[in-house]
Amino acid sequence: MSLPSIRTITQELNIDLAQASDDDIERVLVAAMQRDLPLGVAYLHQIAHESMKSGTTIFGNEDPNSPLGKEIVRISAGTVLREIAQKHFCHGLHLSFLNCCGPVMGVEPPLITKLMRRQIEMQDGTIAHADC
């Protein structure tokens, strides 16, 4: 389970999920991500700032077995959490995800051909971690 604190957060915020507005649902998910995935949220926020400061796309590559790597996977692998991360933690920058632990952050989505090349490098051992 990616966000085990959801039940607790809905109680703390006094939100009934059956009656909740879309904004309330989003608030619950944001709070749960902050609580349950703090390393991943902080990391993505950091690389968003690096991307904005440098004006370039940032290519991450974390060990998928590390605590940070596991959180990045939980955030990036699903559309909903990735979209929320972009909006709330990445200042609206585009977040893509390669291989098992390679977040890609930038102002614009990178060209798919650039992502394909990076994916191959992550698969052929050029830049990948073991167990990817």
Q: Residues of the chain with pLDDT > 90: what percent?
A: 68
Average pLDDT, the chain: 91
pLDDT digits (tens, 9 = 90+) for 88-105: 999 999 999 987 778 999
Average pLDDT in the 111-126 region? 84
Phi then psi for residue 27, to 5 deg, are -60, -40
Say if strands 94-98 and 58-59 run parallel, antiparallel, or are unpaired: unpaired
CA pair distance 128, 121, nearest whole angstrom: 7
Out of 11-15, 22-26, 47-51, 127-131, pick the least confident: 127-131
Phi then psi for residue 94, to 5 deg, are -75, 135
pLDDT digits (tens, 9 = 90+) for 51-85: 999 999 999 988 888 999 999 999 998 899 999 99
CA 103, 105, 109, 112 torsion: positive or negative? Answer: negative
- Token look-up 């709070």 returns 31
Is the model more confident about 100 or about 41? 41
Q: Look at residue 40 in the predicted model and tell me its pLDDT.
A: 97
